[in-house]
Amino acid sequence: MTTVGVLAPQGDGAEHCAQLHALGAAPREVRRRSDLDGLTHLVLPGGESTTLAHLMRLFELWDPVIELHREGALALFGTCAGAILLGRGPGATPQRMELLDAVVRRNAYGRQLDSFCRAVETDGLGTLPGVFIRAPRFTELGPGVRAIGSCGGETVLVEADGLLAATFHAELAGCASLHRYFLDAVPPAGGAVTASRDSGARPR
């Protein structure tokens, strides 16, 4: 059975929860270690990556999330700042989980004023709305990371074992397609995708 949570100490977790509710799921807001109990899936939202990393450590979430994923018990979906946390930095940095074998560069498109909305072309999910707000860039992908979405010829959506990461926000445009995909097709690392999994998700 799929049970999904959304990291809630900071960022746009409410928008992710709204899209999950639209699918018929019952997302749990995750603010402390005990909120992780029983989860199979966790969304790491956009926000400010260094603040999110600080708060995850403060509330004793950082190490448990990493351990649960590495044990094959927790699938992770990061958008914007969440993707930054999952990946690697161009240099040594303590604000990265380094679970995703990809280099993710912060604020790669410029300042807040340089934010934009643009269509994202995907493999199998059609065209998605992409909201890029001080967005990062994937500058290097490891061999186990698959590019499944692009914008202007640039990779903006990737998948790996038990991981989904986007440099954009679809949830801010009211699109639940990525959340449906995360619940239905991205099992915890090493898990098997089965059509009978009870994610509570319903096509719209």
CATH number of the structural domain 4-185: 3.40.50.880
Per the annotation, the verdict on 171 as an active-site residue is yes
Active-site annotation holder among 80, 159, 175, 179: 80
Of 16, 69, 169, 179, which residue is the catalytic one? 169
Cβ proximity of 139 and 90 under 8 Å: yes
The amino acid present at 73, given as its one-letter code, is A
Q: How far is CA 86 from CA 21, 22, 149, 174, in A?
A: 24, 26, 17, 23
- For the chain, how big is the Rg over CA atoms in Å? 15
- Return the H-helix or E-strand segment holding 137: strand 137-141
d(CA 178, CA 196): 19
Q: Is 16 a catalytic residue?
A: no
- Domains of the chain, by residue range, sit at 4-185
Known catalytic membership, residue 80? yes
Given 17, 151, 171, 179, which residue is catalytic?
A: 171
E-strand ranges in 8-63 read 28-30, 41-44
* pTM recorded for the entire structure: 0.90
Q: pLDDT tens, 51-103? A: 999 999 999 999 999 999 999 999 999 999 999 999 998 876 778 999 999 99
